[in-house]
Structure 1
Amino acid sequence: MEGRLTAEENHDALWRREAEAIDLESYTYDLPDDRIAKYPMEIRDQSKLMVYRNGEINHLRFTDITSQLPENTLLVFNDTKVIPARAHFKKETGAVIELLLLHPELPTRVINDAMLVQHSCVWECMIGNKKRWKVGDTLSAVIQVSGADVQLKVSYHDYEQNLIRLRWDTDVSFLDLVKALGEIPLPPYLNRDTEEPDKETYQTVYAHHDGAVAAPTAGLHFTSRVFDELEKKNIRKSFLTLHVGAGTFQPIKAEKVTEHRMHSEQVVFTKALIEDLLQSVERVVPVGTTSLRSLESLYWYGVKLFKKETTDFNIEKLYPYPWKQEELPSAKQSLQAIADYMNSVGLEEIVGETEIFIFPGYRFRLCRGIITNYHQPGSTLILLVAAFVGNDWNKIYSEALAKDYRFLSYGDSSLLWLNDNA
C-alpha cells in the first residue's frame, strides 16, 4: 500500500522520535558554585565514593573501591596526558591573543605523532580575542627550550576554520616547544588561573601519552596504594588512550539532542587491550566517561568489521541507534572481529576517531559498571549517566548534594553499576 512504512523505516522512526522527545530541562539540577571543587583533595584517594547498585546507595571513601569490585574485574583506564595547550601572545599593539590547541591537522592528525613534529605544524585552535588578530598578522615569541632560545612564529593557515600554523627555527619537538610555551588549561567552570600544583594534580598518576586538553578526571582518585590493593584482589587493569578535547565542556544548546554537535576525539587501542577484553568480556568497568565512550565505540567498530562495512575506525555520533538487536553481534563476536582484523594485517594498535553520543535509550555493549565523578547540569555526560542508571541519576545527584559531595573535575567519585535487568 502506498505510504506504508517498512519495518526498517518504522524502527528508524521510533528511535529517532524517542531521542527527539528527550527533554533537556529534565536533565538539569541546581549546582551552587560552592559545591564545585576548585582544588583537589590533598590526598587523592581520600575523596568520597558513592556506590550505586540496583537502586541502593552506599557512602564510602575511595580507598574502599577494592572491596566494591568483584574479583577478576577488568578496570580500563584512559592513559592520556594533558598538554600545556593554552598559550598567550602579546601583539605590538598590546592586544593579547589566546590560543587553545584542539587538534593537529598537518602534517599529521595522529596526536601521538604530532607531538614529535619539528619546525612546522598546523593545529585547529580556539582563539581568544580573535577580532584583534587579523589575517596576515604574524604573532612572534622567543621561547626558552632546554636552555636555548627558539624563535616561534604563529599565523593563520585558514582563518575561517581557525587553523593555525606554528613555525619554529630549531630541531626541538612540538611537545617540547608547547611544554615551554603553554600552560595546563583548567576547565572553565573552575573560574581560576592555573597554578603550579595543577601541573601535577590535574594529571592521573598513570598519564602516559601526551595530547589531551582536559584530564580524564575519574582517574585522579587513583594512587599507588589503591593499585596495590586492587592487585592483591586480582582486579586487573588495562589501558586505552582517548585524547580528551575541549568539546567535553560544551553545553547542549540544540533543542533536540540529536542535533547537538559532538566533537570527534582520537582514540588509540592496542592489541593487548583487545585480548584483555576478550578474556573479561562480562566484567569490564571503565574508569571515567572517556574510557566508557571509547569502549562502546570499540564495540561499534567491531560491528563495522563484522558486517564488512569498512576497516576505517570512525564512529559517527548516532551510528549505534538505528540497529535492531537481532542484527548485531555479541560483545565477544565484535571484539573477535577486531582481533582477527588486527592479526590479518599485522597491527599492534588501531587509531580511530569517535563522536559517539550516548543518551537515554542507548544499550550498553561492553561496560557493566563505571567509576566517574559528578558532572555539569544539562551536559552530554549527565545524559550518559542517565543512559546508564536510568531515572535514578536524579536520586544519585540529589544524594550527592545532600551528603556534601564535591562536584566536577576535582570533585568526589562514584561507582555506578548497570542495573541487573538492563
Structure 2
Amino acid sequence: MKLTDFKFEIEGLNIPDTPLEKRDKARLMVLNRAEKTIEHKEFADIHEYINEGDVVIYNNTKVFPARLNGKKEKTDADIEVFLLRELMPENMLWDVLVEPARKIRIGNKLYFGEGDDELMAEVVDNTTSRGRTIRFLYDGPNQDLYDILDRLGKMPLPPYIEREPVEEDKERYQTIFATERGAVAAPTAAMHFTPELVKKIEKKGAEFLPITLHIGWGTFRTVEVEDLTKHRMDSDNYFVSAETSEKINKALKSKKNKVIAIGSSAVRAIETSVMASGMSKPGTGWTDKFIYPPYDFKITEALVTNFHRPESTLLMLSAAFGGYDFVMEAYEEAKEKDYRLFSFGDAMLII
C-alpha cells in the first residue's frame, strides 16, 4: 500500500483539544469484521462485547511532563528542551529536542527552575539538527529527578493541539492504568475507561492484563515515503511480564476466549512478543515494529482504538487489523456523524 491511500481532509472535522469530563460517555463505533456491520454505541457499552475468559491488554505507561523551559548559561537566552527518552538512568543521560537548536551546542549548560527546584543539564552530543543528548547534573536518585520534572515540566500534548498545556493536563492526558513513567504520548484508546467500567467488565469474568510500552514522540512523526516498506519506525521500550504472557497464551489456546488489545501501543508490544509457535513470550527490549496492511496478526483478536490522523502509522495499524476498505468506510461514517476525532476523541472497537 501507499502513503496516499491513507490521506483524507481534516478541515471542518470535530477535533477536540480536551477529553470529555466523563470518559466513558464518549461514542463507540463497533466494527464487526466477519459481518461487515457498523454499530454506534456509547463507550460504556463496550462491556457487551467482552466475555468471561477474555483478556484485555492495556498499556500501563505514564506520560511525564517532558517539556522544560529554561535558560542557557552566560547569555541567559530562553530555551525549550523536550525530553524524548531516558538513555542511561545511572548517568542521567537523555535524548532531547531543543529550541532554538542553532544556539545550543556541545558543552553548553542549561538551567531550569529556581531555588530548591533548580535543575541543571549539560549538552554532551548532537544527534540531529534539533536533537541533542544531555546529562542532568543532579546527585539525587532518579525517582527524585522525576518528581522535579513533575513540578517544572509541562505535558507534551499532541503537536496538532495548538493550545499551551495547563496544569490540569497532568491528570487528563493520562489513563486510569498509568503507573510506569516514561512516555511522552498517552495510549489514548485507554483514556475512555473508568474504574467503574473496568469493575463491570471484570465481574463478567474477563481479566485486565498490563504491558508497558513507553510511547515516544515518533508516534507523531510524519511518514515521508510513499512506499510504506521504506518507512522506519522509531524504537520504543516495552515490557511483557511472564504472567501477562502466560494468560494471553491460555486465552489463545482456549479458542473461545479473545485477546483484546487497548490501543496500538498494546498491539505493538504483544505482536513483538511472539514466538515461532505463534504464542506470546515474556520479555523486554526495544521494538520498531511497523504494522500496516497486509499484516498477519498472531495474538490480537480484537482492538480498541481511537480515530487517528490521516497518513499516520496509527491509522495504518487500524486498517491492517480491520481491513483497509472497511476501516476507511468507517472513517467516512465517523465524519458524517460528527464523531470526535484523534487523541481526545471517540473510540472504535474492531471485533
TM-score by length of 2: 0.92
Cα distance in 2 for residues equivalent to 1:296 and 1:169: 39
Cα distance in 2 for residues equivalent to 1:188 and 1:142: 24
**Between 150-159 and 170-179, the greater mean CA deviation after superposition:** 170-179
Task: Please say if residues 259 and 302 of structure 2, whose CA atoms lie closer than 8 Å, have aligned partners that are also in contact.
Answer: yes
1:284 aligns with 2:263: no
**Between 152-161 and 54-63, the greater mean CA deviation after superposition:** 152-161
Q: Where does the alignment leave 5 or more consecutive residues of structure 2 unmatched?
A: none
Cα distance in 1 for residues equivalent to 2:341 and 2:76: 38
Per-residue deviation, residues 128-179 of structure 1 (Å, max 9, x unmatched): 21112233321123446xxxx1442222111245211111255573212221
Cα distance in 1 for residues equivalent to 2:100 and 2:133: 15
Larger Rg: 1
Cα distance in 1 for residues equivalent to 2:159 and 2:243: 36
Determine helix, strand or coil for the equivalent of 1:39: coil
Q: Which amino acid aligns with 1:373?
A: N
Task: Please say if residues 154 and 166 of structure 2, whose CA atoms lie closer than 8 Å, have aligned partners that are also in contact.
Answer: no
In 2 relative to 1, CA 295–239 (structure 1 residues): closer, same or farther, beyond 3 Å?
Answer: same
1:98 aligns with 2:98: no
Matches within 5 A, 1:212-251: 212-251=183-222
1:198, distance to aligned residue in structure 2 (A):
1.1
Partner of 1:7: none
Q: Which amino acid aligns with 2:52?
A: E
**Between 175-184 and 350-359, the greater mean CA deviation after superposition:** 175-184
1:89 aligns with 2:70: yes
Q: Where does the alignment leave 5 or more consecutive residues of structure 1 unmatched?
A: 1-21, 107-113, 304-328, 340-349, 418-422
Cα distance in 1 for residues equivalent to 2:48 and 2:4: 36
Alignment equivalent of 1:127, drawn from 92, 95, 98: 98
Alignment equivalent of 1:48, drawn from 27, 46, 68: 27
1:196, distance to aligned residue in structure 2 (A):
2.0
Cα distance in 1 for residues equivalent to 2:43 and 2:112: 44
Per-residue deviation, residues 250-276 of structure 1 (Å, max 9, x unmatched): 111113212212100000111110111
Sequence identity (%): 35
Task: Please say if residues 151 and 169 of structure 1, whose CA atoms lie closer than 8 Å, have aligned partners that are also in contact.
Answer: no
Matches within 5 A, 1:114-263: 114=89, 120-143=91-114, 149-160=116-127, 162-170=132-140, 173-263=144-234
Partner of 1:32: 11
Per-residue deviation, residues 304-340 of structure 1 (Å, max 9, x unmatched): xxxxxxxxxxxxxxxxxxxxxxxxx2x2xx33xx36x
Cα RMSD over matched residues?
A: 1.7
Partner of 1:323: none
1:43, distance to aligned residue in structure 2 (A):
0.6
1:33, distance to aligned residue in structure 2 (A):
5.4
1:405 aligns with 2:330: no
In 2 relative to 1, CA 160–200 (structure 1 residues): closer, same or farther, beyond 3 Å?
Answer: closer
Cα distance in 2 for residues equivalent to 1:243 and 1:170: 23
Cα distance in 1 for residues equivalent to 2:169 and 2:69: 18
Count of residue pairs brought into register by the alignment: 339
Cα distance in 2 for residues equivalent to 1:158 and 1:94: 21
TM-score by length of 1: 0.77
Per-residue deviation, residues 33-91 of structure 1 (Å, max 9, x unmatched): 55211111011110000000031000000110001223322100000000111111123
Determine helix, strand or coil for the equivalent of 1:30: coil
Task: Please say if residues 106 and 125 of structure 2, whose CA atoms lie closer than 8 Å, have aligned partners that are also in contact.
Answer: no
1:96, distance to aligned residue in structure 2 (A):
2.2
**Between 83-92 and 366-375, the greater mean CA deviation after superposition:** 83-92
Task: Please say if residues 143 and 181 of structure 1, whose CA atoms lie closer than 8 Å, have aligned partners that are also in contact.
Answer: no
Cα distance in 2 for residues equivalent to 1:137 and 1:69: 54
Q: Which amino acid aligns with 2:112?
A: A
Runs of 4 or more above 6 Å deviation = none
Q: Which amino acid aligns with 1:198?
A: D
Per-residue deviation, residues 183-210 of structure 1 (Å, max 9, x unmatched): 1110111111111221111110121111
Task: Please say if residues 68 and 112 of structure 2, whose CA atoms lie closer than 8 Å, have aligned partners that are also in contact.
Answer: no
Partner of 1:80: 61
